[in-house]
Amino acid sequence: MKVLILGATGHVGSRLHTHLQTTDISSIAASRGRMRSNVPNHVILDSMNLPELTKQLQNVDAVVNCVAGSKDSIGTGAQILTQAALAAGKPTIVHLSTMSVYGASEGIITEQSSFDPDYNWYAAAKCEAENHMQAYAQAGGKVIVFRPGCIHGPNSVQWVERIARLLEAFRLGDLGNAGDGWSNLVHVDDVVKAIHLGLEMPLGAGEIQHFNLAAPDSPRWNQYFIDLAQAIGATPVKRIHPQQLKLDSKAFSPAIKISQKILEKAGQKKLANQLPEPLPPSLVRLFKQHIFLDAQKISSQLSFMPYQESLTSSVEWLKHEHS
C-alpha cells in the first residue's frame, strides 16, 4: 500500500510518517515547504492546489488528512481533497477530525452524538470538513474518520508544553470546580496506531466509519495539572481562585495575544515567542466541560496507553526539550 500524508510537518503527521517507515506501508510526506533534510519520501505540495493534489493522489492507494491551521485550510481544504480524490480514482481517505465537533456537549459522547458547529470557528471548520467526507462516501469513496480528544505525548506543544509553562508560572494548578472536566487525553502514538489500523481496515465502496479516540483512564483536568506539576517540579501546586482565572483569560491573555501579533508584524517573532503563554477563554471553558469521549468502538482493535505511562512519556520529552 502507498499512502500520501497531508500535514506531514504537524504533530501527528510527522509521527505517523516516522511510524510507517517501519511497516509494509510506503508513505509520502507532503508539506508546503521543506522538511528536515533527514525525512525520507518527502514532496512539496500545496494541498489547496486542486491540480497538484489530484496528480499526487493518482499514484497512491490512500491519503491521510492531518491538515490543521486556518478555517479555510481545514474546511475548504477538505473539499478540495475530496474533489481531487474523486478525480484521481477514489483512494481511501483517512481524515483526522477532533472532539471539538461535539462543541459544548456534556455527558458520555459516542460517535452518534450531535455536532455543534456554532461552538467556535475551529468546531465549525471541522464540522464542514466532516460534511465533505460524508459527501465523498456518498459518491462511492471509502472514508475513515478519527475524532481524537486532547493529543499529548512527545512534541505536544498544546497539551504538554503550554500546560507546563502555565503551571510553572502558577497560572494553572488546582482549579477546583473550574478544572473538574474530563481531559480526554490520548497519546500521539495511539492516534498513529489508530490511523495505521484505519489504513488496513477493509471497507466497501461508499462506506464511512467514525471513531472517537481518548484513553478510557484519562483523568479530570485537575488531576492532570497536579500530576504534571509534580513531575516537572512546579510545586507547591497552587489553588487557583476563580477570579484569578477570569482575569487571566479575559484581560491578561488577550493583551498577550495582541502584543504577539504586533511583534510578529514588526518582524520580531523571537521576541513574541518570549512573551507569557496566553490562557484563552476557550481553554478555560474546556477545563470545566463535563464531556467524556467514549472510545469503546475502537477499543476492541486498539489498546490505549495507560495514563501513567503516557504522562511519563510526555514528561521525559519535556525535560529533554528544556535541557
- The 3-state DSSP class for residue 147 equals strand
- CA 298 – CA 93 distance, rounded (Å): 18
Predicted local distance difference test score (pLDDT) of residue 274? 86
Fold of 2-152+185-215+291-304: Rossmann fold (3.40.50)
Cα 54-188-105 angle, rounded to 5 deg: 90
State the number of CA atoms in the 13 A half-sphere of 305 facing the CB.
Answer: 22
**pTM beyond cutoff 0.85:** yes
The three cell numbers of residue 186 are: 490520548
For residues 33 and 263, which has the higher predicted lDDT (pLDDT)?
Answer: 263
Predicted pLDDT at 204:
95
Q: Please report which confidence band the pLDDT of residue 34 belongs to, taking 50, 70 and 90 as the band edges.
A: low
Return the higher-pLDDT residue of 98 and 323. 98
Binned at pLDDT 50, 70 and 90, residue 32 comes out as confident
The conformational region for residue 276 under phi > 0 = left, psi -120 to 50 = alpha, else beta, is beta
As a whole number, mean pLDDT of residues 16-30 equals 94
Residue 36's pLDDT is what? 57
pLDDT digit string, tens, across residues 160-210: 999 999 999 999 999 999 999 999 999 999 999 999 999 999 999 999 999
What is the reported pLDDT for 306? 97
Bigger pLDDT: 276 vs 220: 220
Predicted pLDDT of residue 69: 86
Task: Supply the pLDDT for residue 40.
Answer: 76
The pLDDT score that the predictor gives to residue 208 is 98
Q: Is the pLDDT of residue 282 over 80?
A: yes
What is the C-alpha separation between 35 and 32, in angstroms, rounded?
9
Residue 284 has pLDDT above 60, yes or no: yes
Confidence tier at 272 by pLDDT (50, 70, 90): confident
pLDDT of 37 reads 55
In the prediction, which pLDDT does 244 show?
Answer: 95
pLDDT at 54 over 90: yes
Could you state, in order of their start, the residue ranges of all structural domains in the chain?
Answer: 2-152+185-215+291-304
Predicted pLDDT of residue 64 = 98
Per residue in 306-321, pLDDT (tens digit) is: 999 999 999 999 999 8
Please provide the average confidence, as pLDDT, over all residues in the chain.
95
Helix spans in 202-323 (H): 221-232, 242-247, 253-265, 269-273, 281-287, 296-299, 307-322
